Structure 1
Amino acid sequence: MAEMKFKRSERLIDMTHYLMEHPRELVSLTFFADRFQSAKSSISEDLVIVKETFEHRGVGTLQTIPGAAGGVKYIPGIQRKQAEELIASLREHVSHSDRLLPGGYLYMTDILGDIHLMNHVGKLFAAAFANKEIDFIMTVATKGIGIAHAAARYLGVPVVVVRRDSKVTEGSTVSINYVSGSSRRIQTMVLSKRSLPQGARVLIVDDFMKAGGTAAGMKNLLEEFSATVAGTAILIESDHVEERLVEQYTSLLKLSNVDEREKTIQVTTGNYFDQVYSFLPEIE
């Protein structure tokens, strides 16, 4: 049976799709050479085209690893202008007055369930932490799950979910008590012992942070697994907090003020660009 010959256009399309479906995974030139029945020199030329296109379109870059065990990695990224547009869109969605609930709470379920908005959030967080060594993403059930999975898709890592109580299906668990930063109440976090290997590097993700008690609790829980915090990603942070329990974090939005009487919600950009600016390529 004759070997199938691939046109360059076919190789480029398939190669691009494969790399974007396997972010931060080292792919050898031999893999692509065998996949397309092509010489490594041709594959190298194709990868140059892919790399230039990724960078021009602002979706990341290709990192080349030399040597016999080397290859290429797709590193997700985003241009600053695109990041500004995505965060502005999120800010507009969150600031609608019809989100106000009694007690000054915001209705967020529709946003957290919107796959397009969550895709934007995942892309932004992936760009922020693409150069970090991350093995897992951790969040607390339930509202942070969509955000965690969106970021995990672009970073190519698994998600672990911390719960408030143990489930039979989780097997043996590790639990800790922590103090909620806003209410100062004692609460419990539970995580299956099978969820994390010892020494894992974990990105903490949460939908909202006031004082940071939940994020601090997750950090303490990670210590039980001898794991380290690779970063903390927050969708919305509260602006008016006397004492923050988490020092280092990256937020997309900042809730500045909620006025129930006037039915207004003031939302500004979080510290994303202060934290991530060096990782975002400038527009040509």
Structure 2
Amino acid sequence: MEIFEYGVLDCALHFCNSLRTFIPLAQATTQMVETVKMTFGLEYQKFLKTRMDEALFGDSSLPGRASVKLRDRVLKDGKVLPNDIIDVSKFMDSQVDVDLMDACAQELSQRFANTKPTKIMTVATTGLVIALPMARYLQVPCVYARKERNIVMADTYTAAYSSKTVGKDRQLLVSKNHINKSDRVLIIDDFLSSGSSQEALLRILSDAGAQAVGVGVLLEKAYDSGRQSLSGYDIPIQSLCRVASVDGGVIQLVEEEGFDKINETK
């Protein structure tokens, strides 16, 4: 007898005998899987998940198509403003390319699927362009932090942060009704630069007793200190496009591993 770690078996299944003429397919399959598991220690669910990942996500070692499209769009339509501010208002701010954002949301959702979040948290309003479609793909509610209190926010968690875009200190507010101690929260945003706003959200989650399971962003300024400032929280950080520099007003992207293989298969 030879044992394989993974494999596919085609065989005829017989569901009737002299005592019983019908057994539901689901029950028969479940009993067969349990027998194989107990006899040989083989895990059907692990095999099934691997096959599903291959079918849905392709080669996980390669960047997704959405990452490539986002990189191309940043280089084509992105502009550098004073104070190293990257203007991407043509497709993800004042004007939103909904097809691109949907594709990016699907890829980023795949990267965080194993963290099993129960909620997504973002900052209004720019973070919503990616957080809302991700919430749909992950089938979880989306909670967003406001920068100003409104009439329905009587009791809130509050955290201050420094906004480079606005050029002054601001605060984020989240209603206490929207975060529970049992929540596993995935933080999603459009940019990661200094990490100030993401860290403010992490402090809010800490105050609420909820667990942060990761930080995902569309664009990361790799030349800034954001990733380093969040490293102490020991959570995964994922970005679809990393900007290496904006020296001289020219956007230079980080050459991520695997993009050469993507280009070969185009």
Give the TM-score taking structure 2 as reference length.
Answer: 0.68
| C-alpha distance in structure 1 between counterparts of 2:170 and 2:247, whole Å | 29
Aligned to 1:251: 239
CA shift, 1:155, in A, is 0.9
Which residue of 234, 240, 243 maps to 2:217?
Answer: 234
Aligned to 2:254: 268
Query: Percent of counterpart pairs with the same letter?
Result: 25
Aligned: 1:114 with 2:97: yes
How is 1:83-162 mapped onto 2 (pairs within 5 angstroms)? 83-96=63-76, 98-103=77-82, 104-112=84-92, 113-162=96-145
| Pair 1:219–1:56, CA change in 2 (3 A) | closer
RMSD across aligned positions (CA): 3.3
Instruction: Tell me which amino acid in the other structure corresponds to 1:41.
Output: L
Instruction: Tell me which amino acid in the other structure corresponds to 1:177.
Output: A
| C-alpha distance in structure 1 between counterparts of 2:61 and 2:79, whole Å | 30
| C-alpha distance in structure 1 between counterparts of 2:28 and 2:194, whole Å | 49
CA shift, 1:171, in A, is 3.9
| C-alpha distance in structure 1 between counterparts of 2:175 and 2:256, whole Å | 32
| C-alpha distance in structure 2 between counterparts of 1:191 and 1:56, whole Å | 35
Gaps of 5+ in 2: 1-22, 30-43, 260-266
| C-alpha distance in structure 2 between counterparts of 1:128 and 1:245, whole Å | 21
Gaps of 5+ in 1: 1-38, 60-76, 274-284
Asked if the contact 1:251–1:271 (Cα under 8 Å) also holds between the matched residues in 2, the reply is: no
Answer with 1 or 2: which has the greater Rg. 2
Deviation per CA, 1:12-41: give whole Å up to 9, x if none.
Answer: xxxxxxxxxxxxxxxxxxxxxxxxxxx841
Deviation per CA, 1:156-186: give whole Å up to 9, x if none.
Answer: 1010000111111334322222345899953
Asked if the contact 2:61–2:258 (Cα under 8 Å) also holds between the matched residues in 1, the reply is: no
CA shift, 1:93, in A, is 0.4
CA shift, 1:110, in A, is 3.6
Asked if the contact 1:83–1:124 (Cα under 8 Å) also holds between the matched residues in 2, the reply is: no
Asked if the contact 1:177–1:186 (Cα under 8 Å) also holds between the matched residues in 2, the reply is: yes
Instruction: Tell me which amino acid in the other structure corresponds to 2:146.
Output: R
| C-alpha distance in structure 2 between counterparts of 1:175 and 1:246, whole Å | 19
Deviation per CA, 1:31-78: give whole Å up to 9, x if none.
Answer: xxxxxxxx8417998xx9xx79x838732xxxxxxxxxxxxxxxxx45
| Pair 1:150–1:167, CA change in 2 (3 A) | same
CA shift, 1:102, in A, is 3.4
Give the length in aligned residue pairs.
212
| Pair 1:184–1:246, CA change in 2 (3 A) | farther
Asked if the contact 1:251–1:270 (Cα under 8 Å) also holds between the matched residues in 2, the reply is: no
Partner secondary structure for residue 224 of structure 1: helix
Instruction: Tell me which amino acid in the other structure corresponds to 2:222.
Output: D
Asked if the contact 1:91–1:268 (Cα under 8 Å) also holds between the matched residues in 2, the reply is: no
